[in-house]
Amino acid sequence: MRLRKLSAILLFCLCSIPHARADATLFLGEPYGYDGALAGTGHASVYLSRVCAASPVVLRLCAPGETGIVLSRYRSIGGYDWIAIPLIPYLYAVEKQEDIPLFVDAKLLAFLRDRYRRDRLESLVPDLPDGGTPGGVWYELIGASYIRTIYAFEIATTSEQDAALIRKLNSRPNRQRWTLITANCADFARGVIDFYHPHAVHRSIVADLGVTTPKQLARTLSSYTRRHPELRTSRPSNYAIPQVPGTVPRSRPAHTVTECALTAKKYMLPLFALHPYIAGALVAGYVGHGRFNLSRNALILDSQQQLDAPLTRLTRMDRRAVQDRFEELLRTESWAAAADDPHWASLHAAAEPAFDASGEPTLKVRLSGEVTPVGIARANILSVPQGFEFAAGLVKARLREELKSAAARKTARADVESDLLLLQQLLARPPGELGSTAASATTAALSPRQSAP
């Protein structure tokens, strides 16, 4: 009797275990460069946490410990319609999270992308006949977080759905279909989301004149998850992956089609004068459908891949305390001003990116007449004592970007705390040659308080 009762209880427990849950996440990348200057719509892709890639064009289920892939439609890349890239390389063009550089410029970005292309995507994007780097838009496959902030919108899925999607995409021809109006990146993302949850997302005739845009997908998916709370994941359904600090131009807010028209004043003013009814219709479309705020209540994905509140959630007094702590660190050591000198900027501009023996990113910097590899990621920035002063300048440059008012809503509090601690560690070490060469005369003439930014 006891055995039958125990068996019944065990059977009930087994039947009560829900199906394995995964998630599909809509990635909305802000526009940048030429697209951003024209108030663009940005880029849409889908992150699948339980789907991985046997190759960039063949999908499989993930093994334990793998982090999934980002799936998107591109144009003019190997003649394929969609391409799958592992999550960390898609965001940062490196294989491991701890190798993400703290501060990025255009030279380092190009180096990381080309290195990953040669290692992992050579069959898809081959070298030029002379061994050089090919042109084209292949660079959008990797390192997305260096050029744009990405907003993420999650919805729960099942492993059975993942397996069905893999069978569907692997079985049909993967041939280029991209067109701007009817088969763009957002149309592909819409198809993937609709495969998991039919009619969860849709285009808008009013807000986008029938063109599918990333922001419209985010708006409709957010609305769908509010109506279906059972499909929400275990963590907040929307968050932001911030653009990595650096000298790469910052991305711009994403817009719908009507917003693009309304924000382009040189087009709207003549339109109001010549065709007021059309202009009025655009305004009505924006008021009715286009006022979706991507960053509202969004948490920030920090450097440890954890969700944290942005700096803007702090009180004004707390933000002032963070700024004061930063300035106090700079007053701690008399040589700290060396990294503010133009000499540091010139060293940084002249430095050549490379990988160390462990495969971690470095910058080869000329210090005291010798080329010294200095670590630029959290994993190796403390590994070369000769480069501590240069490294301190790099962390200071990162913190200045993070503490700008325009960046505060996209900066995680935990990252600022971590960076302040890292700067404190670097400033606590004896000064190297950077502060005793070109910057020595300047620092000698200034008091410690005057040296602070």
The answer to whether residue 93 is domain-embedded is yes
The answer to whether residue 419 is domain-embedded is yes
The answer to whether residue 17 is domain-embedded is no
Tokens (6 digits) for 20: 């394995």
Q: What is the pLDDT of residues 416-443, one digit of tens each?
A: 999 999 999 998 876 554 444 433 333 3
Q: What is the pLDDT of residues 400-414, one digit of tens each?
A: 999 998 899 999 999
Q: What is the pLDDT of residues 201-216, one digit of tens each?
A: 998 887 777 889 999 9
Can you tell me the distance from the alpha carbon of 264 to that of 231, in angstroms, rounded to the nearest whole number? 38
pTM for the complete prediction? Answer: 0.85
The answer to whether residue 409 is domain-embedded is yes
> Among 11-25, 65-79, 135-149, 291-305, which stretch is predicted with the lowest mean pLDDT?
11-25
285 and 417, same domain (yes or no): no
Which residue segment(s) compose the domain that 49 sits in? 22-301
Which residues face 165 on adjacent strands?
Answer: none
Asked whether the beta carbons of 399 and 419 are under 8 A apart, the reply is yes
Can you tell me the distance from the alpha carbon of 74 to that of 80, in angstroms, rounded to the nearest whole number? 8
Domain boundary (272, 301, 330) is at 301
Cα(first)–Cα(last) distance of the chain, in Å?
79
242 and 365, same domain (yes or no): no
274 and 337, same domain (yes or no): no
53 and 94, same domain (yes or no): yes
Strands 238-241 and 299-301: parallel
Amino acid code (one letter) for 267: Y
The answer to whether residue 385 is domain-embedded is yes
297 and 319, same domain (yes or no): no
Amino acid code (one letter) for 130: D
Q: What is the DSSP letter of 384?
A: -
Strands 58-61 and 238-241: unpaired
The answer to whether residue 384 is domain-embedded is yes
Q: What is the pLDDT of residues 351-399, one digit of tens each?
A: 999 999 899 999 999 988 899 999 999 999 999 888 998 999 999 999 9
**Structural domain count, the chain:** 2
Asked whether the beta carbons of 157 and 21 are under 8 A apart, the reply is yes
Domain boundary (258, 282, 301) is at 301
Is pLDDT at 280 greater than 70 in this prediction?
no
The answer to whether residue 95 is domain-embedded is yes
49 and 74, same domain (yes or no): yes
Which residues, in sequence order, are CB contacts of 281 under 8 Å at separation 6+? none
273 and 218, same domain (yes or no): yes
83 and 228, same domain (yes or no): yes
Greater confidence (84 vs 182) lies with 84
Domain boundary (267, 301, 335) is at 301
Bin 363: left if φ > 0, else alpha if -120 < ψ < 50, else beta.
beta
274 and 361, same domain (yes or no): no
293 and 352, same domain (yes or no): no
Can you tell me the distance from the alpha carbon of 261 to that of 265, in angstroms, rounded to the nearest whole number? 8
Residue positions counted in the chain:
453
Is pLDDT at 194 greater than 60 in this prediction?
yes
27 and 143, same domain (yes or no): yes
201 and 331, same domain (yes or no): no
What pLDDT sits at residue 289? 55
The answer to whether residue 5 is domain-embedded is no
